[in-house]
Chains A and B, each alone.
Chain A
Amino acid sequence: MSTLKNIPVVSHEKPSGGTGNLLANVFDELMAFCRSRSLFMLHYCTGCGAIELPPAMTSRFDMERLGIQPMVTPRQADILLVTGYVSTKTLKRIILTYEQMNSPKYVIGICSCTVNGGMYWQSYATAKKLNDYLPVDMYIAGCMPRPEAVIHGLRELMENIKKGESDNWRDYYRRYDHYLGNQQRLFGENWQTPTDIIGEARHYDLMGPETLGPHTALLEQHQTPLKPFEMTLGLADLPVRKDEPR
């Protein structure tokens, strides 16, 4: 930072277009920095790659020194790690999990199988390209990648977040029609998730030119309205003593 130019006040143009307020970008930089340094990771252990994560997380390679730690629920997680082959059945669950996560969220595909099916390329039950169905931020190829490679990939992601380059989660809203089309091709026309992506895109001003299209029109035809989940204790079904007053 010897010259004024190197001071990271405005390091790059913001995609949304700056208002000319220098301070706003400073806060953005600060937020991006903090965000990149505290990533909570939800690892959806679909395949064999999951076996490389325990050493990466625990004392041997210690991911937590980078601020990355495992998280138990999708609501609190930032990264979704998909660690191996994705069967059609699992993909449904991954999409449900991804849509539950709060933005900004990032998807990492670990292992060759998430890139193009890997050794399951001939399998009728395995989805081939994860980025057809979800916006993948980073692929870590290998069969399986070593913990060093996993950590390297995560550091790359941290760099991208710091620079503000990883914003594929916006892409999911902007091109929802594309992603939904691929999902419908695999799961059938009646495919519907309990999350209202279009409503969220409207609410958070994330609508793009491809948010709505033929596939979302199809969704609206089949969509059953979302209802709040009623919780009952079901006491009537419990066995009661005969002399108990009702």
Chain B
Amino acid sequence: MKLSPTSNLSASLEFLLQEISGLRSQWKSPRRLRVDLQAETLPALIELLKGRAGFVHLSAISCVDWPAQNEFELVYHLWSYEVKVLVMAHIRIPRDPGIYLSIYDLYRPAAFFERDIHEMFGLFFEGSPDMGKFILTEWDGPPPMRKEFDGEAWVMNQFDWQDYQPGWLKDIEAKGGGITTRPEDVRRDKPKPWDEQS
């Protein structure tokens, strides 16, 4: 069966998705389809969509950390220029050991997304060409976008803070400058000039 934008789109796409077992689909809007499926069946879904429905564009892979369930959620955003539908395929994988398959052999851009997720969440993709450092080349701490990473505590430990320098303001005031609008002038309870006009 070939999909075309003129045919009954949702019915044809859902007919196609029946081939994957244990899949739940939900239309978020006329052109956005959310798909929840088992992690093992995701490569089959992607091959199906790419081969039979023209989903040639992998927009992004995003990752969500669910520490309460001890799971990572991966979302594969696939776009078809032919049927003009965005499919968001959600899978859940256990946080430990946090290893999943790469889809680099199906989509070359996946290498960048997977490398980014590996850097930010520590999730390893087997078969991805490069799992080296990507953006955070100066970083050797834990993966910073995991929920258990306390960024504030890390910052407090790593950096010093500027001391409050009252002399700086006095210098400016001596030269005729200074603060024109103080915090108490912009309080919410204070009536605003535009309130009186109305």
A-side interface residues toward B, CB under 8 Å?
A: 88-89, 92, 115-117, 121-125, 127-129, 132, 139, 182, 185-188
Contacts and interface: CB of A to CB of B under 8 A. Distances in A.
B138 A89 contact: yes
Contacts of A187: 138
A121 B138 contact: no
Nearest to A89: B138
B136 A125 contact: yes
Contacts of B138: 88-89, 92, 186-187
Contact of B155 (A115, A123, A188): A123
A188 B161 contact: no
A129 B163 CA distance: 10
B151 A124 contact: yes
Interface in B159-196: 159-162, 168
B140 A128 contact: no
A122 B151 contact: yes
25 contacts: A88-B138, A89-B135, A89-B136, A92-B138, A116-B162, A117-B159, A121-B155, A122-B151, A122-B152, A122-B155, A123-B155, A124-B155, A124-B158, A125-B136, A125-B139, A125-B144, A128-B159, A128-B161, A128-B162, A129-B160, A132-B160, A139-B168, A182-B160, A185-B158, A187-B138
A201 to B, nearest CB: 24
A122 B159 CA distance: 10
Interface of B: 135-141, 144, 151-152, 154-155, 158-162, 168
Contact of A128 (B139, B141, B154, B160): B160
Nearest to B164: A116
Contacts of B160: 128-129, 132, 182
B106 to A, nearest CB: 32
B154 A124 contact: yes
A186 B154 CA distance: 12
Contacts of B140: 188
Given A92-B138, A122-B151, A124-B155, A116 B144 contact: no
Nearest to A92: B138
B138 to A, nearest CB: 5
Given A124-B141, A188-B140, A129 B162 contact: yes
Contacts of A128: 155, 159-162
A122 B162 CA distance: 14
B150 to A, nearest CB: 10
Contact of A116 (B136, B151, B154, B161): B161
